[in-house]
Structures are given as C-alpha cells and as structure tokens.
C-alpha cells in the first residue's frame, strides 16, 4: 500500500514539475512579448519626451531672442556700431546664449563679445535669406570655421519699420547645450537621441556618429524582418513616426524611434539597446522564476504533507483493520485477505492448522490477564520467528491461532509441527516462571480448491478430535469428520421431533443378586429407534450434552421409568427399583430435583424406587456441587449411585466426601483381572473398602461366569452384565422378572 502511494506521489510530482516547467516557459515567453511591447511604448514615450524637450528649448530660445530684438528695434536707428555692440553685450549678459550677433542686411555682422568666432559668409547669407521670409529661423551648422563642434543658431528678423527687415538678430549656441536633451536618461543612460534631416543627415547627435548620415550607419546593420531601409526612407519622407529594430554586426539588438519634429522637417531619432529590454525581462523572469520556485516548493511541500497525512491515516486504518492489537501480528481479516496469494506462493502445497491452548482460561485465572497476554504475545513472537517467508499466521480468537504452513508429507509435517510445539512450550517462560502450555492441533492438508472458511471448518473438526486425546494432540482432518458433522447436524435437526414421536425408547438391564441370580433392580438405558435402526447412546449422548438436549431426554427416560413403576404398582407386578442415568448437565440445573419430585408425585411412585446414576468424572470435577446435589436427592429419598467408578482418575476423596447408596464398578476396572493377580487384589481391596462404608457395590460388564464367580467371592452385591442379561425392552424385562433367577 505504501509503495503504491509513494509511486503515485512521484508520478504526481513529476507531472507537477512538467506542468510547472511548461508554465514557466509559457510565462517567460509571454513576459518577453509583453515586455517588448511595454518597452516599445516606453521607448516611444521617452523619445516623445526627448523631442518635446528639444522643441520647448528651441521655443524658449526663440522667445528670448524675440524679446531681445525689441529694444534693438526700439533704439533704431542706432547712433553707431559701438552703441549697437554695447546693447548686444548687455542683452547677451542676461541670456544663456554663447553670443548674440546682429547682421545688417548688407552682411556686416556685429558680435556681442569679441571671443566669438565670426560666422562664415555663407552662414550670414543663409541667415539673412531665411529671416527675410520667416519670423524665426533655427539651424545647425556642422563645421562652421573656427568652431570646435556643431553650433545651433537661432535667428529673428529685426524690422523696426514693419516693412523690410534691417537685419537679423542671431543667437549662437554650442552643441553641448542641447546634449542633455538628447540623453535618454529614462532609458537607463544607455539610450540617446539624434536629430536628423529627413534624408538621414545628422543635425545634432548626443555623441559622434561614424557617418554624418543615419542611413549610411543603418546600411551596416541588419534591420528587423518587417523593415527595409527603403521603406524607412519612404516613411521618413512621408513624415511618419516609426519604430525600427536592428542588429549590429556584433549581434547587439537595438531599437530606433523616429519622431518628426516641427522644426525644419527634422526627425528626432531615439536609440535604445534591446539589452535594456532584455535586462528588464531577465529581471522580471528571474523574479517570476523565484516566485514560481517558491510557489512550487510550497505546493510540493503541501502535497508531501497531505500525502504524509494520508499515509499516516492509511497506516492507522491498516493497523485497525489488519493488525491484532494484542500481539501486533496479522489479524484474521489480514489472513483472509492474503490467503490466496500466500497459498499460491506455497504452490498450493500447504496445510491449514488451527491450534489452541487448552485451559488458557486457567492461566488467566491463576496468573492474571497480564500473564495470559504475555503468553499470547510470546506465542505470536515464536511463530513470527519460526515461520518461513511465504507462510503466515494470525490469532483467530483469544487462545486460537491459525497457521498456513508449507506441506510436503504427513510425516515430515508432523515432525515440524511437534518441533514448533516444543518451541512454543519452551518459550513460554514469562516473568521468570514457566507455564506448561497444553496445545492441540487440527490440521487440514489443502488438497481441494475450496473456500478459506471451509478449510477453516475442516481444521476445526480435526482440532475438536485432537482435543479428545490426552497426549499427542494432533489430528488431521479426514472425510469421517465431515460425515460425523453431517450426521450430527441431521441428529440435531431431528431430535425434537424424535422425542415427540417417541422414537426414544427405554431399555432395561437387570441388576442381579450374585448368589441367587434374582433380579433386584434394573438400569434404564436409552435407545433411539432412528430410521429403523436402534441407535446406541454413545452415538448421540455426547452431542446432546453439547447442545443441552440431554436435559430433556433424561427427564423423558425418568418419566418412562416412573410410568413403568406406577404400572407395576397398579398391576400388582413385583416392583424392582429402577436406575436412571443423569448427565453432568443436571448438576448445574436448579430444576433438576424439583422436576424429579414432580414426576414421581405425578405417577405416585415412592422416590426410593428411582435411583439416580451420576458418573464419577462429573462428581470428581465438581465435588462441591455434587455434594449439594447428592444431599438434595437424599433429602427427598432418592438413592444415588456413582457410575463408572474406576474408569477415570478415581479419588478416594470422593468416597470420603459423598454418601452414595451404591457404587458401580466400571467394566474397565474389571478388564483383564483374570491374568493379573495384582488387579485381583486391587478389586478385592476396593470392594472390601467400599463395603466397609456401608455402600452397595454393583459391578458392570460382567460377561463371564469366571468374572461373576470372582466378584461374588470378593463380596460385590449386585451384578449387571451380558452374563445375566443384555439391556432389553420393557416387555422382555417384564418376562425376565417372572423368572426366579437369571443364573
Ligand atoms: P452406563 O451408565 O455405564 O451403562 C452401562 C453400559 O454398559 C450400557 O451401554 C450397557 O449396555 C453396557 N453394558 C452392560 N453390560 C455389559 C457387558 O457385559 N459388556 C459390555 N461390553 N457392555 C455392557 P449403553 O446402553 O450403550 O450406554 C452407554 C452409556 O450411555 C451409559 O453408560 C450411560 O453413561 C449413557 N446412557 C445410557 N442411557 C442414558 C440416559 O438415558 N441418560 C444419560 N444421561 N446417559 C445414558
Ligand atoms: Mg449407568
Ligand atoms: Mg456405567
């Protein structure tokens, strides 16, 4: 799960990176386009500013010059040239011009100061010509003799008579006065302007150009694709505003903005290197990149954070869904989920094992839940260590574990399982004391392609069987288990109806006097007339004990016994006491004695005629409760017999604590005594000892005369066994009763 999420995260991050990069590239392009547009506007603005400044400067000069001309006109005619020169000098002191010059109509020139280089004749003629026609004339002389650089000249006519001008007043300016206007400061000092004539001749330049004609300069550069030099010439001739881009031979990209001026058809040409644009663009792009980077990082970090949170919650979900909180191992859900793939991983050569810790509750009760939990954790730990990679396990319930193990053959598998059990038992030393674990294993060898839960069922069936063993609690599932379950299910579904239909029948087995062979009593034994077959109790009683139906069945048999006793009483037939077997389940049923009393009262039969048989093992396991029940039965006059004495772990303590009326020696107790003198001694001693307690001894399973003789010699009171009679129907029994003896 984790792997998937990280892979998707990286794919996502990659896609995000590609998208962001594409975005950056697009953005970069867009920024460049916009910037170029912006810069063009900027250049145009700057050029317009520059042109405006130049025009304003010229207009201001014109105004000053016109104002200066007024006193000259007023004082006309002048006394002499000296007074004119003095006036010029005075006027010149107030203005910023380099010099003021008055030119007579005949070409004579008077200068405001003596430092000024005289103007050439050509210039003088040019000025007179223009001022005779115009109110103002502005021009630039490039190479006026004696002047180090170009000079700007402004001129107005002097016309005191308002007719034909008597001369012209001229202001001389050096080129650098205008230079400031030609520097494009707003373009980062990299740009500057040039004033040209429409044919390209340079009028004023910020710095010296290699040629005096701009077109000649442009011939050596590469114009932008949309432009040609001729086109440019035509545009200028037409007085258009033009923006032109070009590359210099050394690869520099520049822009030229052409703006027509209202003076002499001049053009203001502003040149700005594209470097300025690029620098701006780079800066903006750099800034955007940093921004993008920051945004991307924040985004990436956020995504990472979200993924982490998602991963964490997934992990948490996974833990809740698939991990056993106690042992930290897989839980059942996880096993279900992975089962098929694990099975394939083992090439389907596997076995499903269920094992449980018998009497785990005792560990909890005796040592506390903490210890119990420790044990389960250790078991999980050992399994974790012992299992191979493709194998798996989980905790099914409190003390039940399911294993999926590699399987080759039964022998080697059992060997491995036993080794595993040893390991589990060995490792069970918790908190310095060793607990003995009693483990039972149910094994299903996976041979069929069936659902996991069916396999589990099968392993469970085997486990149920394994639990019935005392040692070596390993069982393999076999088809008989299945058949048994099917029969059990059939029995369960039909038992109630069987009871109602009187399919259960009471058989009686006589209890005879050893010496006389006379019938002194009988034990009632249930038979089930099931589908035409007399089914023996061993086949259904364990099941009825598990499902509780035995409580009803015992009472049914008891009622049959009571009914028979009542019938005998009524017929005047000789009455012998009948014994009824009661399951261990009655011990904990408070209705037990009241029910017995009610039935006996119903049939009006004295309680002493009905003996209750309770098996030894039940009494042994529940001594206190048994004591209460025996006392209760005695209280109402029911005789009580201990059944199957000597079949299990007989305890003399039981004899000491409980007052039975009779004790039934189990057939197992007698088996093989003939060849075993020690056994004979034990039987002899047991009978003698029981008899000294004043308890009657009944021997079960007497099959031979030898047995009968021996037991009689030992002093046993009553005999029950095939030697005298098998369990028989009531009718047969009544016939037997007619006989004086069964010997
Ligand atoms: P149990 O109470 O010890 O009954 C004696 C069993 O020994 C009977 O088996 C009887 O048929 C058998 N038996 C008697 N004489 C001989 C003999 O000489 N040789 C051999 N081999 N067997 C002999 P059965 O009838 O199959 O009953 C088995 C057990 O089922 C009984 O053992 C008793 O514990 C239980 N059972 C029978 N009927 C009832 C009942 O109505 N209620 C309850 N709770 N248990 C019953
Ligand atoms: Mg019995
Ligand atoms: Mg018995």
Ligand 1 test: best mutation among 504, 537, 557, 726, most atoms within 8 Å of CB?
Answer: 537
Instruction: Work out the number of other CB atoms within 10 angstroms of the CB of residue 251.
Output: 7
Which region, left, alpha or beta, applies to residue 429 given φ > 0 means left and ψ of -120 to 50 means alpha? beta
Place of tokens 């386009």: 33
Instruction: Work out the number of other CB atoms within 10 angstroms of the CB of residue 350.
Output: 25
Place of tokens 């042992």: 327
Rounded to the nearest angstrom, the distance between the alpha carbon of 237 and the centre of ligand 2 is 139
**Contact indicator for 661, 696 with CB cutoff of 8 Å:** yes
Q: Residue 557: its pLDDT value, please?
A: 98
Whose C-alpha lies nearest to ligand 1, atom 7?
A: 701
Spatial separation of the C-alpha atoms in residues 628 and 140, rounded to whole Å: 142
Q: Is 609 in the pocket of ligand 1 (CB under 6 A)?
A: no
Among residues 462, 461, 375, 468, the alpha carbon closest in space to that of 424 is found at 375
Whose C-alpha lies nearest to ligand 1, atom 5?
A: 700
Q: Is 721 in the pocket of ligand 1 (CB under 6 A)?
A: yes
Rounded to the nearest angstrom, the distance between the alpha carbon of 562 and the centre of ligand 2 is 17
Q: Residue 1: its pLDDT value, please?
A: 42
What are the residues facing 441 on neighbouring strands? Answer: 355, 474
* Helix 479-500 vs helix 550-571: crossing angle, to nearest 10: 40
Among residues 354, 409, 403, 407, the alpha carbon closest in space to that of 383 is found at 403
Q: Indicate the SS3 state at residue 718.
A: strand
Rounded to the nearest angstrom, the distance between the alpha carbon of 581 and the centre of ligand 2 is 5
Q: Radius of gyration over alpha carbons of the chain, in Å? A: 64
Q: Residue 427: its pLDDT value, please?
A: 58
Looking at the CA of 525, name the nearest ligand.
1
Rounded to the nearest angstrom, the distance between the alpha carbon of 581 and the centre of ligand 1 is 9
Q: Is 611 in the pocket of ligand 1 (CB under 6 A)?
A: no
Q: Residue 640: its pLDDT value, please?
A: 96
Whose C-alpha lies nearest to ligand 1, atom 37?
A: 525
Query: What's the token pair of residue 386?
Result: 């012992």
Among residues 98, 61, 253, the alpha carbon closest in space to that of 175 is found at 98
Q: Residue 340: its pLDDT value, please?
A: 94
Q: Residue 142: its pLDDT value, please?
A: 82
Give, rounded to a whole angstrom, the gap between the first and last alpha carbons of the chain: 82
Q: Residue 187: its pLDDT value, please?
A: 64
Mean pLDDT by 10 residues, the chain (743 residues): 62 82 81 76 81 88 90 87 89 88 92 87 92 89 82 90 88 81 70 87 80 85 86 90 87 87 89 72 76 82 86 80 87 91 95 92 82 89 92 91 96 95 75 75 94 92 90 90 84 93 96 94 96 89 92 97 97 94 93 97 97 85 87 97 81 80 90 85 91 94 92 94 96 93 85
Q: With 0.75 as the threshold, say if the pTM is over it.
A: no
Rounded to the nearest angstrom, the distance between the alpha carbon of 612 and the centre of ligand 3 is 12
For the chain, domains (ranges, CATH) are: 319-476 (3.30.70.270), 488-739 (3.20.20.450)
**Contact indicator for 690, 663 with CB cutoff of 8 Å:** yes
Long-range Cβ contacts of 464-468 (<8 Å, 24+ apart): 466/440, 466/441, 466/442, 467/358, 467/440
Q: Indicate the SS3 state at residue 276.
A: helix
């Amino acid at each position: 799960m984790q792997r998937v999420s990280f892979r998707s995260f990286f794919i996502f991050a990659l896609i995000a990176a590609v998208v962001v990069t594409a975005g950056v590239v697009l953005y970069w392009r867009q920024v460049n386009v916009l910037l170029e547009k912006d810069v063009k506007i900027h250049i145009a603005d700057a050029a317009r500013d520059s042109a405006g400044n130049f025009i304003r400067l010229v207009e201001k000069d014109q105004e000053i010059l016109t104002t200066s001309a007024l006193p000259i006109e007023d004082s006309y005619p002048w006394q002499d040239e000296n007074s004119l020169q003095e006036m010029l000098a005075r006027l010149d002191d107030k203005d910023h011009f380099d010099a003021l010059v008055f030119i007579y109509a005949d070409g004579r020139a008077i200068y405001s100061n003596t430092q000024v280089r005289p103007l050439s004749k050509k210039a003088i003629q040019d000025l007179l010509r223009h001022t005779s026609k115009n109110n103002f004339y502005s021009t630039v002389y490039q190479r006026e003799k004696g002047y180090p650089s170009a000079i700007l000249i402004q001129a107005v006519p002097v016309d005191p008579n308002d007719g034909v001008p008597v001369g012209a007043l001229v202001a001389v300016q050096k080129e650098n006065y205008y230079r400031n206007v030609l520097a494009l400061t707003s373009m980062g000092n990299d740009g500057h302007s040039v004033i040209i004539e429409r044919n390209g001749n340079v009028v004023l330049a910020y710095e010296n150009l290699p040629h005096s004609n701009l077109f000649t300069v442009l011939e050596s550069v590469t114009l932008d694709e949309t432009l040609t030099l001729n086109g440019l010439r035509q545009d200028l001739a037409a007085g258009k505003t033009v923006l032109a881009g070009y590359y210099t031979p050394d690869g520099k990209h520049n822009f030229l903005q052409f703006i027509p001026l209202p003076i002499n058809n001049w053009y203001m040409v502003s040149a700005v290197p594209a470097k300025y644009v690029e620098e701006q663009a780079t800066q903006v792009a750099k800034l955007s990149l940093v921004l993008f980077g920051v945004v991307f990082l924040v985004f990436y970090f956020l995504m990472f954070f979200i993924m982490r949170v998602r991963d964490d919650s997934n992990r948490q979900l996974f833990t809740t869904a698939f991990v056993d909180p106690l042992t930290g191992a897989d839980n059942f859900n996880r096993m279900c989920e992975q089962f098929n793939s694990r099975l394939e991983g083992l090439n389907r050569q596997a076995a499903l094992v269920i094992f449980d810790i018998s009497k785990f509750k005792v560990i909890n009760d005796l040592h506390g839940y903490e210890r119990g939990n420790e044990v389960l954790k250790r078991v999980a730990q050992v399994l974790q260590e012992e299992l191979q990679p493709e194998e798996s396990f989980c905790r099914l319930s409190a003390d039940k574990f399911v294993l999926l193990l590699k399987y080759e053959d039964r022998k080697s598998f059992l060997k491995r399982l036993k080794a595993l059990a040893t390991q589990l038992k060995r490792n069970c030393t918790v908190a310095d004391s060793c607990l003995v674990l009693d483990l039972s294993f149910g094994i299903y060898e996976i041979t069929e392609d069936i659902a996991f839960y069916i396999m589990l069922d099968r392993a469970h069936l085997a486990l149920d069987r394994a639990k019935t063993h005392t040692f070596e609690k390993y069982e393999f599932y076999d088809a008989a288990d299945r058949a048994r379950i099917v029969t059990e299910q059939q029995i369960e579904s039909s038992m109630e109806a069987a009871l109602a239909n009187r399919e259960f029948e009471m058989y009686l087995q006589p209890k005879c006097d050893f010496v006389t062979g006379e019938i002194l009593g009988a034990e009632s034994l249930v038979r089930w007339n099931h589908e035409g077959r007399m089914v023996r109790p061993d086949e259904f009683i364990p099941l009825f004990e598990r499902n509780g139906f035995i409580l009803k069945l015992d009472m049914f048999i008891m009622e049959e016994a009571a009914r028979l006793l009542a019938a005998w009483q009524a017929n005047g037939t000789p009455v012998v006491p009948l014994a009824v077997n009661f399951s261990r389940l009655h011990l904990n049923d408070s209705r037990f004695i009241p029910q017995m009393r009610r039935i006996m009262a119903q049939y009006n039969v004295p309680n002493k005629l009905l003996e209750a048989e309770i098996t030894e093992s039940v009494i042994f396991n529940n001594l206190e409760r048994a004591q209460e029940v025996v006392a209760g039965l005695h209280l109402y006059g029911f005789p009580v017999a201990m059944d199957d004495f000597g079949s299990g772990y007989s305890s003399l303590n039981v004899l000491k604590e409980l007052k039975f009326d009779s004790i039934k020696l189990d057939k197992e107790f007698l088996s093989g005594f003939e060849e075993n003198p020690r056994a004979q001694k034990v039987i002899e001693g047991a009978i003698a000892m029981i008899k000294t307690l004043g308890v009657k001894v009944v021997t079960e399973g007497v099959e031979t005369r030898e047995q009968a003789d021996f037991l009689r010699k030992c002093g046993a009171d009553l005999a029950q066994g095939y030697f005298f009679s098998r369990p028989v129907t009531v009718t047969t029994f009544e016939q037997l009763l007619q006989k004086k003896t069964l010997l």
